[in-house]
Structures are given as structure tokens and as C-alpha cells.
């Protein structure tokens, strides 16, 4: 049995992954951005151990969430699932003045990775849109560029995969991988999304707990439990380090190692 923490597991793919893990006998801790959503998450995933509360758009709240996780003891796996989509027509600022998409999709996974006691496995949800992300990492806060919601989302999913690859390189004792679940009909994906919704949560579950040799790797990128081609910048050590340096600058949180 593994202990797994899943961010953004009140609905969507996070909830679906949590259900699969609980049904397989694993100990699962959920997460939601508010107490009301945490209650909903526990009702939706019977058998989950508990649900933690933390608004990932806030630096202070994300730091507090990491402390809550550490109070529960070390986890075998953390699935960084939480994300917001590309529907924002303008630059929506977080409480810290950062773009909401960047705060939740990029900075929060970085901070949680840095602050939570390292698990045996880390799983980061990216997207096929990461391939159109801007690998220059210029103006991450969108202060000088004209706002483009889809581009901001694509950038953030590139960041998630860059982080996964950076951790795989920096922390050899941790299995760190990224994946794309496909464009599926969740609240974020929309009703017309064409990919297989039932298959969408399986890869993150597989990477988090499977003993199959194909899952016990690090620095991989997957789709439906198979390796998939990525943006070439993901294996660029300089790009990985630029992202880490930038995230440290925005958050004040240093990544160990």
C-alpha cells in the first residue's frame, strides 16, 4: 500500500485518480482550495484519509499547505494535478500580483516540491499544449507581453514538465515524471473534448504506485502509460535552472539540492 497526496482532487482528473487509488487499497490524502470543496472531495472519494485545504494561487497559503502535508508524515508519492485553464480573457492577478495561471500551475508545484518532504515518486500533470510553450522563460509574470490565455497555459504546462525533469536530475533518489492526460471532457477540458476520459487518470496512478519496470523510471514524459515526444527544451539543463531560479525569486522558497 502506498500513501499518495493529490493536489486539486476535489473534482476532475484529481478526483478520478483518487478514486482509482482508494479502490486499489492505497491511502490517499486529497486537497482543495477551500474548506467547502474539501468537504465535497471527501464525499466524492469515500475511503480517502482526509482532505487538506490550501489556495494554490497564494504563496502564503501554499507554504501553509506544505506544512500540513509534512505534519502527516512522509508520502510515497505526490501527484501535482491542480491547475487552472486557459479561459481567462485577461491577466487575472493573484493576491501576490502574479498571473493566476502562473501562480497555480507553475509556482505552486515548484513550492510544494521544494517544501514537502521528498516522497519516493513525484508526478506532474502537463499537457500536449506544452509543445507550444515559450522556452525562453522571458516575462513569466506577463508584465510586458500582451496577455494571451492559451499561451500562458501552454507556458505553465511546459514549466511543469521542466520541473519534473529538473527534479529527476537533481534528486536521483526520487522518481520524477510528467505526463499529458489528453484533451478530455472535464470542467477544464469542456464537453467537446475528444480524448478518452476514462483513460485520462490512469497514467498518473500508474506512475505513482505501479511496480512495473516501465513505471519505475525518472525523467520520463508519458501519455496513456507510454513514452511520448516532448518539447526539446525539457532536457535543456540551462532552461531547467532558469525556471528554478525564477520560481525561487517569485516565491522566496529555495529548492533543495
Q: Choose the catalytic residue: 15, 124, 157, 221.
A: 157
Q: Which of 183, 141, 181 is nearest to 159 (CA)?
A: 141
Q: Are 224 and 215 in contact (CB under 8 A)?
A: no
Spatial distance between the Cα atoms of 35 and 39, rounded to a whole number of angstroms? 6
What's residue 86's pLDDT? 72
Domain limits, the chain: 3-251
* One pLDDT digit (tens) per residue for the chain, 257 residues: 999 999 999 989 999 999 999 999 999 999 999 999 999 999 999 999 999 999 999 999 999 999 999 999 999 999 999 999 876 789 999 999 999 999 999 999 999 999 999 999 999 999 999 999 999 999 999 999 999 999 999 999 999 999 999 999 999 999 999 999 966 445 555 555 545 567 789 999 999 999 999 999 999 999 999 999 999 999 999 999 999 999 999 999 999 98
- The predicted pLDDT at position 192 comes to 58
pTM exceeds 0.85, yes or no: yes
Known active-site residue 157: yes
Distance (Å, rounded) from C-alpha 155 to C-alpha 217?
Answer: 25
Alpha helix ranges (H) inside 90-216: 100-102, 108-115, 149-170, 202-209
pLDDT attached to residue 256: 95
Question: What pLDDT score does 184 carry?
Answer: 46
Burial 43-57 (b: 16+ CB within 10 A, else e): ebbeebbebbbbbbb
Number of residues in the chain:
257
pLDDT for position 185:
42
Number of alpha carbons in the 13 Å side-chain half-sphere of residue 199: 14
Q: Which of 110, 124, 153, 221 is catalytic?
A: 153
Task: Please give the grid coordinates belonging to residue 162.
Answer: 521542466
**Which CATH code is given to the segment(s) 3-251?**
3.40.50.720
Q: Active site includes 43?
A: no
pLDDT of residue 17: 98
Q: Which pLDDT value is given to residue 257? A: 86
Cβ-contact 169, 238 below 8 angstroms: no
Amino acid at each position: 500500500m502506498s500513501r499518495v497526496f493529490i493536489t486539486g482532487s476535489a473534482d476532475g482528473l484529481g478526483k478520478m485518480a483518487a478514486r482509482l487509488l482508494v479502490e486499489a487499497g492505497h491511502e490517499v490524502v486529497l486537497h482543495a482550495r477551500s474548506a467547502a470543496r474539501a468537504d465535497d472531495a471527501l464525499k466524492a472519494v469515500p475511503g480517502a484519509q482526509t482532505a487538506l485545504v490550501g489556495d494554490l494561487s497564494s504563496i502564503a497559503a501554499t507554504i501553509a499547505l506544505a506544512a500540513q502535508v509534512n505534519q502527516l508524515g512522509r508520502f510515497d508519492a505526490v501527484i501535482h494535478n491542480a491547475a487552472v485553464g486557459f479561459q481567462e480573457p485577461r491577466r487575472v492577478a493573484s493576491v501576490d500580483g502574479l498571473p493566476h495561471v502562473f501562480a497555480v500551475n507553475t509556482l505552486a508545484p515548484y513550492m510544494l516540491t521544494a517544501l514537502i518532504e521528498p516522497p519516493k515518486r513525484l508526478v506532474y500533470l502537463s499537457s500536449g499544449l506544452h509543445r507550444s510553450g515559450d522556452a525562453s522563460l522571458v516575462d513569466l509574470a506577463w508584465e510586458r507581453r500582451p496577455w494571451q490565455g492559451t499561451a500562458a497555459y501552454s507556458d505553465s504546462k511546459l514549466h511543469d514538465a521542466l520541473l519534473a525533469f529538473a527534479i529527476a536530475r537533481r534528486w536521483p533518489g526520487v522518481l520524477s515524471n510528467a505526463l499529458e492526460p489528453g484533451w478530455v471532457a472535464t470542467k477544464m477540458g469542456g464537453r467537446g473534448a475528444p480524448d478518452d476520459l476514462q483513460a485520462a487518470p490512469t497514467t498518473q496512478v500508474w506512475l505513482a504506485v505501479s511496480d512495473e519496470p516501465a513505471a519505475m523510471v525518472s525523467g520520463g514524459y508519458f501519455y496513456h502509460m507510454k513514452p511520448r515526444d516532448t518539447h526539446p527544451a525539457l532536457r535543456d539543463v540551462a532552461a531547467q535552472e532558469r525556471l528554478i531560479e525564477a520560481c525561487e525569486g517569485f516565491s522566496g522558497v529555495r529548492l533543495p539540492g
